[in-house]
Amino acid sequence: MSEQITQEMKASGVAQVLVFLKPSADKTASSVRANLEEHFTRSEYSVASSVAAASKSLTASSIPKMRYYRNLGVALGTVSRDGLAALRADKENVEQVSGTPPIRLIRPREVSAASLTGNYTWGIKSLGVKELWDQGLSGKNVLVGHLDTGVDGTHSTMKDAIFNFAEFDEIGKELTPKPKAHDSDQHGTHTAATIAGRAVGGKNVGVAPQAKLASALVIEGGDVVARVIGGMDWAVGQGVKILSMSLGFPGWWTDFLGLTKIIRARGILPVFAVGNEFAGTSRSPGNYNQALSVGACNEQLEVAEFSSSQLFKRKRDPIVPDLVAPGEAIISAKPGGGYQSMSGTSMATPHIAGLAALLWEAKPNATVNQIE
């Protein structure tokens, strides 16, 4: 049993679980979903019920027993011990039952006021991006998934950059009607502009300035696992080629491993931050060997002191991160206009997502492995 499930069962008698359907299961069949749903329960001890109780707009009856994500082929909900046993006994449809460790934004180590004085950030220069631009590459026709705190769609760098935007509420339901692209914090606008920010007055912060973003507001707060998985499922449905996530849960947890495998199997490159907790640490899913894990370096191309790194006792990909990218004193867009500087692996990750967009434009028939 997942450690997360065990601890939740001990504490409250129920646990939130993620159910992966077998490849052979008919994921479009309503009967399959109905059979799954009967094993889930509503409980006052669940994460969703706690969120609803604290909300002015939600009620316990508004919480579904189970959320099904058809693009990923997984289900999420709360189970009792009997429900958990029944799911595990369903050998025909259920591949695996995993826990849901609390996922969190990877907060910057430093945030400061800044202005963009040169035509290119040091990150763009150090990655040799301008040389790729000179070859005619810009990320055109490449769609990048961006799961974060949202993005300020009115910022000048975001003009025509947003292909689609979604927001997932406190219990993981996509808001309708669709809201205008906005940032609930400042993190998302910074990372989004690093991926695909358009040049403004000849000044550049975006690595792939003609790529498009499918950006979802999924964090922080509420039933964050439901919000993030909802965003992942939505991004897959949008047809993204790259998924950029600067979030994770500290330590090694295998619960999201199946999701990362599914993302990759769908022909999408998962570009995930490794964390800002210094050497000897890392975050999942950024420490999975199926992810392209990203650490941070400074302008001298030295690994940033805060950048997480870890050695695992496994044959494949034993060291994380896989690479480091510009992540210290990175200038990018600020919600409401202007720019600011941030430091963190969250800033390094969108550099690599943007670079992957340039490479995919150059080789549109390349596989995920080839791009990586």
Burial of 120 (0-12, 13-18, 19+ CB in 10 A): middle
| Residues 358/132, Cβ–Cβ less than 8 Å | yes
pLDDT computed for residue 270 by the predictor: 98
317 part of the active site: no
Angle between helix 187-196 and 345-362 (nearest 10): 30
Q: Which residue has the tokens 């499922």?
A: 233
2 part of the active site: no
Task: For residue range 196-240, list pLDDT tens digits in order.
Answer: 999 999 999 999 999 999 999 999 999 999 999 999 999 999 999
pLDDT computed for residue 1 by the predictor: 58
Percent of the chain with pLDDT over 70: 99
Task: For residue range 280-293, list pLDDT tens digits in order.
Answer: 999 999 999 999 99
- The whole-number average pLDDT for the span 146-164 is 98
pTM across the whole model? 0.97
pLDDT computed for residue 32 by the predictor: 77
**Per-residue pLDDT for 38 more than 80?**
yes
pLDDT computed for residue 27 by the predictor: 65
DSSP state, residue 150: B
Determine which one of 309, 332, 341, 346 is catalytic. Answer: 346
Determine which one of 43, 49, 148, 246 is catalytic. Answer: 148
Cα–Cα distance, 131 to 347 (Å, whole number): 21
- The whole-number average pLDDT for the span 327-348 is 98
Determine which one of 187, 246, 307, 343 is catalytic. Answer: 187
Write phi, then psi, for 81 (nearest 5 degrees).
-60, -40
Beta-ladder partners of 183: 150
The string over 221-241, giving b where at least 16 C-beta atoms fall within 10 Å of a residue's C-beta and e elsewhere, is: ebbbbbbbbbbbbbbbebebb
Nearest to 326 by CA among 316, 339, 341, 338: 341
pLDDT computed for residue 300 by the predictor: 98
Neighbours of 96 (CB within 10 A): 18
Q: What is the 3-state secondary structure (H, E, C) of 109-149?
A: CEEEEECCCCCECHHHHHCCHHHHHHCCCCCCCCEEEEEEE
134 part of the active site: no
Q: Which residue has the tokens 């070859």?
A: 135
pLDDT computed for residue 24 by the predictor: 78
State the average pLDDT for the chain: 95
Burial of 166 (0-12, 13-18, 19+ CB in 10 A): buried
pLDDT computed for residue 319 by the predictor: 97
